[in-house]
Amino acid sequence: MLSVETRHAIDPQAAEAMDTAALRRNFHVGGLFTDGEIRLCYTHYDRMIVGGAVPAGGSLTLDHVKECGTASILDRREMAVVNIGDAGTVAAGGETYTLEKGDVLYLPRGAGPVTFSGNGRFYILSSPAHQAHPARLLKIGDANQLKLGSAETSNERTIYQFLVPEVVPTCQLVVGYTQFAPGSVWNTMPAHVHDRRMEAYLYFDLAPDARVFHFMGRPEETRHIVMKNEEAVLSPPWSIHCGAGTGAYTFIWAMAGDNADYRDMDMVAMEDLK
C-alpha cells in the first residue's frame, strides 16, 4: 500500500504567525513507518521526498508516484535508503542489496522500481536528478567521520557522512547521520542556516517516553516542535535546524538544493538567537 502527502513551501513570515498545530501540520512529519505500507511526504522544498517503507516480513514495491509526474519514481530522481530496523533487502536496477541497521543505499536515476523486503524499517529520501551515478551500498565504516563538540557543552557527537562528494557522487542528495556520546543531547549547536539547500531530519532510537525539542525558524524568531521516535521534520532553507533531547537519540540529516557541499552554511552567533 502506498500513500503520499504533499507539503507546500512556507515563507518565514507565514511560519512566524503559526500556532503549535499549524507548525506541526506544515513541518512535522509523523507516521512514516507503518507495517505493510510505504508512506511518502512529497515536499515543495527542492522537491525532496521523505518516506518510510516497512515490509514487515513481506515485500513492498515502490514504482509509480503520481506526484512525480513520471512512469516510475526514479525515472528523473535519485534515492537514498537508510535502514533503521532489522535486516532487510532492497532490490532495484537488477540488483538486490542486504541492509543491516545503519546501512545506507544509494540508487541512481533510472534504477527502476524499488522493492523492499524482510524486517527492515527503511527510511526513503529522494530528490530530482539530471544524471545517473553508480548505485552503492555503504556500511558505517565507509562513511567520512567528523567528531565534534564536547561533554562540557553536552554535544559530543560523531557525524557520519555517507552521501557527500568525498564518499559517493550524487546529483543533489547529501545524507548522513549523527550519533551522540553518553550524556550529550544537543545537536547542531551553534546553529546555522544554508539558504541554498533545504534539510530534513529523522529522529530515531529514542526511548518511548523520550522527546527531542527541535528548534526551527529564523534566528531572530525561533520556534520549536516536539519530536518523538521515528518522526521527521522539514527545515526550509531560511530556517535553523537544531535540537536537544531528553535522552539518547540518533538523527538522519538529508539535504537537496543548489550544491552538495556539506560545508556551505552560514553560521549563527549565539547572541543572535532569540
Check pLDDT > 90 for residue 48. yes
8 in a labelled binding site: no
- Its pTM stands at 0.97
Q: Give me the domain span that covers residue 219.
A: 2-272
For the chain, give the longest Cα–Cα distance: 53
Write the CATH number for 256: 2.60.120.10
CA distance 178 to 89: 23
pLDDT (0 to 100) of residue 260: 87
194 in a labelled binding site: yes
pLDDT (0 to 100) of residue 248: 87
- pLDDT tens digits, one per residue of 233-252: 999 999 999 999 999 899 99
- Give the count of domains, the chain: 1
In the predicted model, what is the mean pLDDT of the chain?
Answer: 96
Strands (E) in 139-211, as ranges, are: 144-148, 157-163, 174-180, 186-187, 192-193, 197-204
